[in-house]
Amino acid sequence: MTALGDLAWPSVPANRILALPLGSTEQHGPHLPLSTDADVAAALCAALASVRSDVVVAPLLPYGASGEHQDFPGTVSIGTEALTHVLVELGRSASATFPRLLVVSGHGGNLAAVRAALATLTAESRDVMAWFPRWDGDAHAGFVETSLQLHLDASRVSLEAAAAGAVEPLSELMPALRAGGVRAVSPNGVLGDPAGATAQGGRTIFDGLVADLVTAVAAWVSGP
């Protein structure tokens, strides 16, 4: 993997894709670290760079739009407007060196900011793409994210503290969630159930996400 932060300026390669891991610093239940979304984004970018020599991985951006988690201690959010501005300015600056910018966001709440930023950058004729991991299963700090974190670094998971939260479909929870944040629907911050999560299951989920990302980037690069 080629990491931008490790390079001196004469060593920065030309004509590469800059992959930006975008995460969040937000609660992930009583058992997962606040960096979970950031960890997943960083690992996905590293995996992409391991199979594509034209990818350079930018330093992680660990803050996002996480206002829905603000009622839980430790959550640090910069909000949609600020994140949009950061991504636009980052994209403008990066385009001086890199002809393509890929944003890989591990936090779904960053979607509005990413869309707005990419719309601006695209209108300025910059070649940008965003990718968000998608999976079947619970939404937040449940089986899927617990399995992923067990795969990435099991030492950072406190399984003894893991417990189910709100297990209703997200579509049913959304009105109350939008009105009062995650705390309004789940006192422990979990949207799902981490029961049964394993590192092996996490590896299977992660490998599937990497395959999806690799396919999406290949289509982008080969497209018009």
pLDDT digits (tens, 9 = 90+) for 57-100: 999 999 999 999 999 999 999 999 999 999 999 999 999 999 99
Per-residue pLDDT tens digits for 125-173: 999 999 999 998 899 999 999 999 999 999 999 999 999 999 999 889 9
Domains with residue ranges and CATH for the chain: 2-222 (3.40.50.10310)
Q: How many whole angstroms separate alpha carbon 72 and alpha carbon 19?
A: 30
Q: How many whole angstroms separate alpha carbon 169 and alpha carbon 185?
A: 12
Tokens linked to 214 = 């690799």
Place of tokens 């209703």: 168
* Residue length of the chain: 224
Local confidence band at 223 (pLDDT 50, 70, 90 cut-offs): confident
Local confidence band at 224 (pLDDT 50, 70, 90 cut-offs): confident
